[in-house]
């Protein structure tokens, strides 16, 4: 039975991930075909009714459980943005959660960058079951039909907020609102705790359930074991209902139910069966949650704590202080690969803050719930005393946090590691533990996994020559790679964390950065990138260099001004030639005082055209046979060169565009269609990658039809 449960959990995990990933990409691609980036849509208004199930006061956004659209019943979840309407503030003030509102159906969906790695906000929402995002045009409050369970939940949360108002200091109130309700709006020290690696404390994680579960097991004085178990499960279920079904909270609750169920039926609890049972339940009811990083990290952390640590150390140390330090240090090391994989950076001294602060928070949590219970019973004198005690504990916690090493975050010493291989090795260890525990064939399994690791290492070490055109919204960014040598052309407009994206691709230093010209959508992220990543050289023309040095003078020793054709060799078979072009309006328009770049890889040739004009393109001697062209000015009419696109043999045209300026222009699309040139835009396809072999080029896109 154990084997079947574990096997079923593995099967449903793989199936859910494949289904969710495929569904997400298909949904996004179809949406983009319906709402092309270069079309101006007239407003098409919808009347929607629903109830607010969550909100963010700071951003004035809410999550609406939609009940009807134009009087037709539906069941969906939407993210709605108030903008000039104080909808969330009024909701909190009036404690009203049902509304009728107007949205514009023609609003663009799925507009965050779509790349093969890196954070995708739309996918995060999709994992939570949120299918649409709209701006609120108008709204009015309506009365609910009968009893509303969500209104009751929101009422309990409001009561908790009111109870916390009685605490002695604003700091204590904001701290407990963040810890108990996940509301970090007023908690100014959150970023410091995040840097310390303690963000999970404010995410209503398994930590909360674990601490309260242990407290109830030891402190709930009920003699009858069955009644005590049922009482604990009910209280934990009520907590889950109040805080909301986050991935980690669901996992913790189901594991508690499993453990108490085993105790009730006098069976031995098995950690592998318990975690498999939790995963199966979650994915049956919320299969798309498999895309959530929160789910991944929650289960990974559980394995590290419940299986990894116990496998390494069978017996606890006699000293509880030393055991806590050892536990914190070892778990931190076990969590490090996943932290680096998902966030590309980590505070290497998190074990210190965990060792000192987690025990304090583990004391604060149950006392905070005791305080709420006493407040509910209107025992004012006792609640005042507990409130003062809580305030002092929170003061001590915040005081200690200020002395923790905040700025020790680094990733540089790990740049030689392949994090995928590290994670795979850890996955092998955990899966081997499962196989060993379930008494399956051990030696063959170990040999197969070792062989797979060797294959991954060998395949991962094969040098690749590739160019990736990154979706940065409105802006240009391309990554050029030859083996372990990497460089980029342009940096986007600054809305995408380029350094984070590069790290997510395993790139931790750049041989060069080329800037085509001095417009914001091409140089916008340069300052942040240069401060976060090791970059050997910067190539740009004189006009761009003057502008860059005004804001980043420290780059002066590393800037190479290109006044004539300049050749950069990237590896053995990859050559980049930078060519300055000057147009008639160069003194007034940076687009006409620019660098274009020619790429030669084996027998393949390509061009990056920046934002140069039609006249400049018509006057340039392009090769007759061209593998790819990164189109100029996002496919605008100002760069529409019939001479270039109509007289050369071009395999692919790639355009970086978004919805801001309705690009690429319809005439540009028509020109490429007339000459049967395949056209790939970062709006329609997300990241576009060209991989160069000896005699052919492979094109991949993140979003596929």
Using the 3D structure, point to which of 373, 388, 413 is the last residue of a domain.
413
State the Cα–Cα distance between residues 152 and 238, nearest whole angstrom: 12
One domain, residues 407 and 449: no
At residue 64, the 3 state secondary structure works out as strand
State the Cα–Cα distance between residues 299 and 122, nearest whole angstrom: 23
Which two tokens mark 330?
């070892």
At residue 108, the 3 state secondary structure works out as coil
Q: Of 521, 415, 506, which is closest to residue 474 (Cα–Cα)?
A: 521
**Residue 61 falls inside a structural domain:** yes
Which two tokens mark 455?
């294959």
One domain, residues 170 and 125: no
Which two tokens mark 164?
């916390």
**Residue 594 falls inside a structural domain:** yes
pLDDT above 50 (res 408): no
Report percent pLDDT > 90 for the chain: 55
Lowest mean pLDDT across 54-63, 352-361, 543-552, 644-653:
352-361
Using the 3D structure, point to which of 115, 146, 177 is the last residue of a domain.
146
pLDDT score at 457: 58
In tens, the pLDDT along 545-572 reads 999 999 999 999 999 999 999 999 987 7
pLDDT score at 380: 85
Encode 355-381: b = buried (16+ Cβ within 10 Å), e = exposed. Answer: bbbbebbbebbbebbbbbebbeeeeee
CATH number, domain containing residue 73? 2.40.50
The secondary structure of 627-642, three-state, reads: EEEECHHHHCHHHCCH
Q: Of 174, 180, 242, which is closest to residue 211 (Cα–Cα)?
A: 180
State the Cα–Cα distance between residues 357 and 350, nearest whole angstrom: 10
One domain, residues 244 and 259: yes
pLDDT score at 454: 66
pLDDT score at 535: 96
Task: Please report how the helices 293-302 and 247-264 are oriented relative to each other, as an axis angle in degrees rounded to 10.
Answer: 40
**Residue 98 falls inside a structural domain:** yes
- Number of structural domains in the chain: 4
Which two tokens mark 192?
């410091």
One domain, residues 178 and 242: yes
Q: Which residues contact 66 (CB under 8 A, 6 or more apart)?
A: 48, 49, 50, 74, 75, 76, 77, 78
Q: What H or E segment, with its residue span, contains residue 437?
A: helix 419-437
Q: Ramachandran region of residue 392, left (φ > 0), alpha (ψ -120 to 50) or beta?
A: alpha
CATH number, domain containing residue 475? 3.60.15.10
pLDDT score at 429: 61
Q: How far is CA 367 from each of CA 202, 210, 603, 612, 640, rounded to the nearest angstrom?
A: 17, 14, 71, 65, 69
One domain, residues 474 and 449: no
The DSSP line for 221-248 is --S-HHHHHHHHHHHHHHHHHHH---HH
Q: Of 255, 245, 314, 239, which is closest to residue 285 (Cα–Cα)?
A: 245
One domain, residues 139 and 156: no
Which two tokens mark 417?
């590691």
One domain, residues 474 and 570: yes
Lowest mean pLDDT across 150-159, 212-221, 464-473, 490-499:
212-221
pLDDT above 60 (res 27): yes
**DSSP letter assigned to residue 307:** I
One domain, residues 445 and 470: no
Phi, psi of 115 (to 5 degrees): -125, 165
Q: Which residues contact 170 (CB under 8 A, 6 or more apart)?
A: 186
One domain, residues 622 and 646: yes
Q: What is the mean pLDDT of residues 530-554?
A: 95
At residue 602, the 3 state secondary structure works out as coil
pLDDT score at 418: 45
**Residue 17 falls inside a structural domain:** no
State the Cα–Cα distance between residues 70 and 49, nearest whole angstrom: 8
Residue with tokens 């396809």: 685
**Residue 22 falls inside a structural domain:** no
At residue 506, the 3 state secondary structure works out as coil
Average predicted confidence (pLDDT) for the chain: 87
Using the 3D structure, point to which of 129, 146, 163 is the last residue of a domain.
146
Q: What H or E segment, with its residue span, contains residue 534?
A: strand 534-540
State the Cα–Cα distance between residues 88 and 363, nearest whole angstrom: 33
Q: Of 168, 212, 175, which is closest to residue 193 (Cα–Cα)?
A: 175
**Residue 12 falls inside a structural domain:** no
**Residue 14 falls inside a structural domain:** no
State the Cα–Cα distance between residues 557 and 123, nearest whole angstrom: 41
One domain, residues 313 and 447: no
Instruction: Answer yes or no: are the C-beta atoms of 312 and 330 closer than 8 Å.
Output: yes
Who wins on pLDDT, 139 or 221? Answer: 139
What is the torsional sign of CA 162, 167, 169, 175?
negative
Strands 72-81 and 45-56: unpaired
| Helical residues (DSSP H) of 244-349, grouped into ranges | 247-264, 271-285, 293-302, 309-312, 320-343
Cβ-in-10-Å burial (0-12, 13-18, 19+) of 75 comes to exposed
CB 673: neighbour CB atoms within 10 A?
A: 10
One domain, residues 383 and 439: no
Q: What H or E segment, with its residue span, contains residue 53?
A: strand 45-56
**Residue 19 falls inside a structural domain:** no
Q: What is the mean pLDDT of residues 127-150?
A: 92
In tens, the pLDDT along 379-406 reads 889 999 999 999 999 999 998 888 877 5
Lowest mean pLDDT across 428-437, 596-605, 662-671:
428-437
Q: Of 333, 482, 525, which is closest to residue 414 (Cα–Cα)?
A: 333
At residue 481, the 3 state secondary structure works out as strand
Who wins on pLDDT, 522 or 339? Answer: 522
Q: How confident is the model at residue 417 (pLDDT cuts 50, 70, 90)?
A: very low
Enclosing domain of residue 82: 35-146
pLDDT score at 414: 43
In tens, the pLDDT along 252-300 reads 999 999 999 988 888 888 888 888 999 999 999 999 999 998 899 888 8
Paired with 162 in beta bridges are none
Instruction: Answer yes or no: are the C-beta atoms of 619 and 641 closer than 8 Å.
Output: no
pLDDT score at 444: 61
Who wins on pLDDT, 330 or 428? Answer: 330
Q: Which residues contact 677 (CB under 8 A, 6 or more apart)?
A: 645, 650, 651, 652, 653
In tens, the pLDDT along 637-675 reads 999 999 999 999 999 999 999 998 999 999 999 999 999
pLDDT score at 584: 86
One domain, residues 358 and 266: yes
Lowest mean pLDDT across 109-123, 345-359, 416-430, 471-485:
416-430
pLDDT above 80 (res 62): yes
Q: How far is CA 622 from each of CA 109, 411, 580, 602, 605, rounded to the nearest angstrom?
A: 38, 42, 14, 17, 10
């Amino acid at each position: 039975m154990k084997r079947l449960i574990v096997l079923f959990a593995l099967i449903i995990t793989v199936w859910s991930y494949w289904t969710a990933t495929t569904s997400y990409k298909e949904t996004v691609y179809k949406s983009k075909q319906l709402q092309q980036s270069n079309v101006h849509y007239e407003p098409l208004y919808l009347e929607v009714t629903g109830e607010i199930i969550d909100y963010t006061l700071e951003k004035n956004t809410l999550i609406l459980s939609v009940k009807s659209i134009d009087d037709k019943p539906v069941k969906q979840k939407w993210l709605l943005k108030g903008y000039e309407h104080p909808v969330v503030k009024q909701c909190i003030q009036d404690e009203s959660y049902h509304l009728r509102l107007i949205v514009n159906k023609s609003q663009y969906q799925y507009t965050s960058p779509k790349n093969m790695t890196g954070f995708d906000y739309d996918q995060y929402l999709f994992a939570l079951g949120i299918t649409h995002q709209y701006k609120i045009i108008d709204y009015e409050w309506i009365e609910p039909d009968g009893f509303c369970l969500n209104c009751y939940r929101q009422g309990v949360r409001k009561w908790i907020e009111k109870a916390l108002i009685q605490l002695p200091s604003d700091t204590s109130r904001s701290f407990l609102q963040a810890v108990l309700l996940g509301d970090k709006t007023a908690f100014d020290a959150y970023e410091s705790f995040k840097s310390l690696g303690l963000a999970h404390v404010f995410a209503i994680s398994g930590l909360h359930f674990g601490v309260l579960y242990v407290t109830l097991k030891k402190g709930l004085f009920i003699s009858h074991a069955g009644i005590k178990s049922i009482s604990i499960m009910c209280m934990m279920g009520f907590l889950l209902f109040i805080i909301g079904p986050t991935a980690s909270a669901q996992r913790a609750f189901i594991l508690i139910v499993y453990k108490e169920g085993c105790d009730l039926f006098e069976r031995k609890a098995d950690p592998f069966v318990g975690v498999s049972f939790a995963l199966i339940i979650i994915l049956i009811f919320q299969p798309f949650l498999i895309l959530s990083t929160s789910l991944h990290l929650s289960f990974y952390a559980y394995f590290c704590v419940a299986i990894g640590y116990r496998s390494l150390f069978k017996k606890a140390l006699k000293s509880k202080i030393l055991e806590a330090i050892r536990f914190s240090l070892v778990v931190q090391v076990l969590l490090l690969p996943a932290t680096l994989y998902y966030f590309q950076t980590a505070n290497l001294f998190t074990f210190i803050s965990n060792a000192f602060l987690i025990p304090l928070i583990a004391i604060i949590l149950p006392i905070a719930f005791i305080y709420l219970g006493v407040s509910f019973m209107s025992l004012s004198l006792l609640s005042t005393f507990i409130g003062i005690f809580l305030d002092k504990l929170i003061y001590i916690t915040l005081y200690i946090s200020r002395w923790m090493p905040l700025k020790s975050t680094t990733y540089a010493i790990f740049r030689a590691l392949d994090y995928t291989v590290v994670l795979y090795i850890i996955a092998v260890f955990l899966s081997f533990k499962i196989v060993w525990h379930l008494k399956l064939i051990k030696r063959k399994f170990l040999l197969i996994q070792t062989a797979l690791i060797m294959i991954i290492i060998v395949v991962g070490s094969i040098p690749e020559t590739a160019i990736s055109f990154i979706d940065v919204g409105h802006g240009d960014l391309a990554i050029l790679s030859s083996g372990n040598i990497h460089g980029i052309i342009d940096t986007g407009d600054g809305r995408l964390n380029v350094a984070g994206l590069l790290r997510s691709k395993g790139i931790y230093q750049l041989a060069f950065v080329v800037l085509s010209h001095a417009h914001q959508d091409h140089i916008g992220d340069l300052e942040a990138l240069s401060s976060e990543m090791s970059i050997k050289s910067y190539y740009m023309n004189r006009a761009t260099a003057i502008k860059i040095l005004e804001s980043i003078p420290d780059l002066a020793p590393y800037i190479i001004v290109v006044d004539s054709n300049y050749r950069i060799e990237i590896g053995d078979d990859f050559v980049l030639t930078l060519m300055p072009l000057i147009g008639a309006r160069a003194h007034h328009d940076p687009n006409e005082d620019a660098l274009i770049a020619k790429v030669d890889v084996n027998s393949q040739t390509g061009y990056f055209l920046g934002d140069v004009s039609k006249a400049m393109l018509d006057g340039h001697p392009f090769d007759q046979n061209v593998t790819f062209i990164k189109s100029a000015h996002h496919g605008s009419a100002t760069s529409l060169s019939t001479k270039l696109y109509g007289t050369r043999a071009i395999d692919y045209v790639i355009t970086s565009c978004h919805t801001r300026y309705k690009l690429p222009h319809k005439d540009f699309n028509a020109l490429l269609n007339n000459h049967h040139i395949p056209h790939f835009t970062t709006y329609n396809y997300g990241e576009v990658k060209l991989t160069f072999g000896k005699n052919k080029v492979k094109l991949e896109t993140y979003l596929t039809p």
